[in-house]
Structure 1
Amino acid sequence: MSKRESTKYKLDRRMGENIWGRPKSPVNRREYGPGQHGQRRKGKLSDFGVQLRAKQKLKGYYGDISEKQFRKTFDEAARRKGDTPDLLIGLLESRLDAMVYRSKFVPTIFAARQFVNHGHVKVNGQRVNIPSYRLKEGDVVEIREKSKQLALVIEATQLAERDVPDYLEVDHSKMTSKYVRVPSLSDVPYPVMMEPNLVVEFYSR
């Protein structure tokens, strides 16, 4: 699908966790890192290393978005009033590609980015092809009519491995999804524990 589609499981191996909860993840069979020295990389991480790993895991979960884009999102969360870790998660979850993935319109976050890029998605009736497009409460995302019968869309809606979170109202018969509210960390169904507080510490050094 995207340039990371064929190598996305390397992120799982590098982190030592099944980040997206996919049944085919190699971490389910071997928890050590990739490469010939992977089995020897078990040393204790420094505080910096722990913070860096938390950042890489969160950034990777959303399709391994660029450092520039991720830092920009963090800076916006830090400027707002409230709990910065929760605000960071809320901003990441309000991305259009994240919502397409959460709504189970596509099977992976990487597919979601390409799906949006290729113009298969509308927001409030208008075609949008920017994966990082920021959604607001009440926005309605829909799959374009000619895209509803694509094989990956049909496959994704039938996936049993993940549920649609309650901050979205999804109608798979119409292929629409409404962004009901901005979630906090506890609302988001991550398959593994995310630690945005460590991301805050990393950027606050």
Structure 2
Amino acid sequence: GIEDCGEERVKLRQLIFLRCSLVLAGFLYGQARADEMPWAAAVAKPILPADETRTLLTGFVERGLKPIPLPKTRAEWEKRRGRIRDRVLRALGIEDRVPPRWPLKIRRLGAIEYERYRIEKFTYESYPGMAVPALLYVPRRALGQVPGIVSIAGHAYGSGKTSDFLQRRNVNLVLRGCVVLSYDYLNTGERNTGPNAKKNMPYGG
């Protein structure tokens, strides 16, 4: 009985020593890591004041963004319109593709009818063999020429042109008398190619 008690005490002391050793090793490792990176706490502190962080970008844009001079007459606008259009096409790199040199092959796929507007469903080819699913919102009482607006979803990869916020925007615009084109660009909505396993998002887009 005495020998058994002695062995138990030895085992208990060994266990306590082992636990203390582990705690001490963890503490020393943390200290060593802190000694290796004495700059960590210093660089983690913000450099810019909080109020400056919130207003810096906005102020920069407001100071550098020049107001666009608006035309005073329709004749003035007609004179400027061509130059602006050419600059936009060059900036996009598509000046040699507008108008397209291939048939659009529009396929009309029915319409959804509402009291004040309708939504036409169709596809067109943005490039030979590349079909684009699209929706066209058309006001019922459009008289003469009306504004045309292209409305896309941004980074709504899964829902694309059917996104709730986009539908609200498009309906709001068509009720104001605009014709609105909404489509799925590459890797969104119906043209989504599936997830990228590394980034949990579609390829491209």
Q: Which TM bucket (shorter chain)?
A: under 0.3
Q: Which has the higher strand share?
A: 2
Q: TM-score, normalised by structure 2?
A: 0.23
Q: Which has the higher contact order (CA 8 A, sep 6+)?
A: 1
Q: TM-score, normalised by structure 1?
A: 0.23
